[in-house]
Chains A and B, each alone.
Chain A
Amino acid sequence: MNKKFMAILVPVVSVLIALAISTIIIILIGKNPIDAYGALIKGSFGSKQAIADTVIKTTPLILTGLAVGFGFRAGVFNIGAEGQMVMGALIAATFASNFGFLPPLIAIPLTILIAMSVGAGYAAIAGFLKAKTGAHEVVTTIMLNWIATYFASYMVTGPLKVGSGTPKSPEIADSAQLPILMKVGAIEMSAGIIIAIIAAIFMYILLNKTTTGYEIKAVGFNPYAAEYGGISVSKNIVLAMAISGALAGLAGATELMGVHHRFLGELSGGKGFDGISIALIGQNNPIGIIFAAFLIGALRTGSNEMQFIGVPKHMVMIIQGIVIFLVAADRIVRTIMIRKRVEK
């Protein structure tokens, strides 16, 4: 069977199997799956507001998906997009609340740059440790996620704290907020989605049209052969983690500058982990990642509506888990497809 066709077919069939399994689970807890999926679709596409909300939720997911996907292409599993996003947004928020004296033309790129550099630097710690000592990036980035979470909680309950109630940082300057593209009722859709799509194009060019991209892919594909061919493996592992972290930091920036306008504890909310399923469903391809992020974004938005009729929104996590499992063990799906063909 055609290789490209399979690359699309495996994730699509995996999503369908996951939906079938979750249908069974919904029936088991005594709910009507048609109502549940109806609510899901209504919640994500049922109105102009719902669609705008889906696009807003999709924006950071494209970026975390690109972050994880870029890592996979380079042979590193960046499970720490969550922490890189938190650190990027947190430090950017700290600076950007004082950017009132700057015009937007400087304040916006500067805030983005801070978030991306912090994300890159934070991820590079794991890259450096892997390159120098062989410490597996999965363990180190998970630890860095926890450290980021605790550090952020210290910052917003301590030095940055404003007001009472939910711990939060002060609002960033107006000039550092992303321009609003569209206003639907109370929902403001910022230019974040454009940034996300530009990032996808950037990743495509970097991976397919540049020497750096070629070297990073070579190290990911076969580090021994790459080293033999004169490509420095350590340098490229650190670089790959840094670029991956910069994309995660950018996800933090769009959430900070386009949605919340301040740092809150729930700013990341599992979006870094969603990046893993998005990268796998999108087969680490920038265009695939945009579609996959849109799918997960729609599921996340719609699941709130589903919760109203008594189906907990954790359903989306189960669906994602099953999809990741099936894409990782893709021979399961391939075998099913081949058997079907033989039967025909």
Chain B
Amino acid sequence: MRILEAIFLVFINPLFYKITLTAATPLIFASLGGVYSEITGVVNIALEGIMLLGAFTSVLFTWLTGNVWIGVFMAVISGLALAWLHAWGSIKWAGNQVVLGTALILIAQGVTGFLMEPIFGKPGQTDFVGKVEELRIPGLADIPFIGKVFGELSPFVYMAFAAVAFSWWLIYKTRLGLRMRSVGENPEAADTLGINVYGIRYFGVLMSGVWAGLAGAYLSVGEVGHFRELMSGGRGFIALAAMILGNYNPVGAMLASLLFGASSAFANQMQSSSLIHVSATVKPLFDMIPFVLTIIVVAGFVGKSHVPKADGVPYEKEA
């Protein structure tokens, strides 16, 4: 029964909830990116690569300028650049969106790995370059339990929730949002009504670059303050799963991201539990938990979510 006791102790520990929030933050940003792109009808598996490039760019510019926020801004720019390539290949040239996404992931992995030595002088990992300070909210931090969870968090966490609220409003309450959804459902009809299908799709894909770029900036300068090769570690794909589980809705994607965040927080806390002595050998098995959960979730919910009808189908005007 020690194991049940250990599980119980994890759930009453405020640290578990704090790690859930911090682990969910990059997933929230990246899954929002997925939502923007896919509701307009463009599958974007390049999120993984955009995150990685964003993580690298923010470290690079933080190191060059000494200002983390310039780093974060440049991560967004780099995200836009990679997303533009995806939009260009899949909208203008009607390429296979999944394969294009794979190509961009490889390019991001190649470019970031390639530049490590010429710029930072060593492969693998950069030195600490500085990170975004955690935000301490004076009154809140003193409340027991809640203060330990919410009292001192990275501003990225709050930005992520603000981004979800903004995106929900944009997608469901504005004319632009309606157009985005109509282009993803039925581009022919939207085109007939005078909506610029290509323009809206470009907007959706470029916005996914903005959000996934921020997700990447959080991984490096938001959380650890350095860049490590391949540090996105599959989270772009977990974000895609969160988007599917969240039914292509910003709020749903956020809730799903929190679930995945909780699963990593759980794995993390169980590993360091003093009740059950987890040897270093068994740790990789705990690291598998979020990935196993993702498969179960994708398999269990994909049939039940409403996939945009034209998702993944290039639109071509009839001549």
Binding site for B on A (CB under 8 A): 25, 29-30, 77, 79, 129, 132-136, 138-140, 142-147, 150-151, 153-154, 157-158, 273, 276-277, 280, 310, 312, 314-325, 327-332
List B74-122 residues whose CB lies under 8 Å from chain A.
85, 89-90, 93-96, 98-100, 102-111, 113-114, 116-118
Binding site for A on B (CB under 8 A): 45, 85, 89-90, 93-96, 98-100, 102-111, 113-114, 116-118, 123, 234, 237, 240-241, 244, 280-282, 284-285, 287-288, 291-292, 294-295, 298-300, 302-303
| A324 (CB) vs chain B CBs: closest residue | B103
| A72 (CB) vs chain B CBs: closest residue | B99
Do residues A136 and B302 form an inter-chain contact, with CB atoms below 8 A? yes
Distance of A327 Cα from B303 Cα, bound (Å): 31
Do residues A77 and B285 form an inter-chain contact, with CB atoms below 8 A? no
Contacts of B284 in A (CB 8 A): 150-151, 153-154, 157
| Complex A-B: 22 CB contacts under 8 Å | A133-B302, A143-B292, A144-B295, A147-B292, A150-B284, A151-B285, A157-B281, A317-B114, A318-B107, A318-B110, A321-B104, A321-B107, A321-B109, A322-B107, A325-B89, A325-B95, A327-B99, A328-B103, A329-B90, A329-B94, A329-B95, A332-B93
Do residues B110 and A320 form an inter-chain contact, with CB atoms below 8 A? yes
Contacts of A318 in B (CB 8 A): 106-107, 110-111, 114
Do residues B85 and A325 form an inter-chain contact, with CB atoms below 8 A? yes
Do residues B95 and A331 form an inter-chain contact, with CB atoms below 8 A? yes
Do residues A328 and B288 form an inter-chain contact, with CB atoms below 8 A? no
Do residues A138 and B113 form an inter-chain contact, with CB atoms below 8 A? no
Contacts of B303 in A (CB 8 A): 133-134
Nearest 9 A/B pairs, CB to CB: A329-B95, A317-B110, A321-B107, A321-B106, A324-B103, A318-B110, A314-B113, A325-B103, A328-B99
Closest CB of chain B to A113's CB: distance in Å? 27
Contacts of B111 in A (CB 8 A): 314, 318
Contacts of B107 in A (CB 8 A): 317-318, 321-322, 325
Contacts of A29 in B (CB 8 A): 118
Distance of A328 Cα from B282 Cα, bound (Å): 41
Do residues B288 and A151 form an inter-chain contact, with CB atoms below 8 A? yes
Q: A312-B113, A318-B106 are in contact. List 20 more A-B contacts (CB 8 A).
A: A133-B299, A135-B302, A140-B299, A143-B234, A143-B241, A143-B291, A143-B295, A151-B284, A151-B288, A157-B284, A312-B123, A315-B110, A318-B110, A321-B106, A321-B108, A324-B100, A325-B100, A329-B96, A330-B95, A332-B93
Do residues A150 and B117 form an inter-chain contact, with CB atoms below 8 A? no
Closest CB of chain B to A21's CB: distance in Å? 10
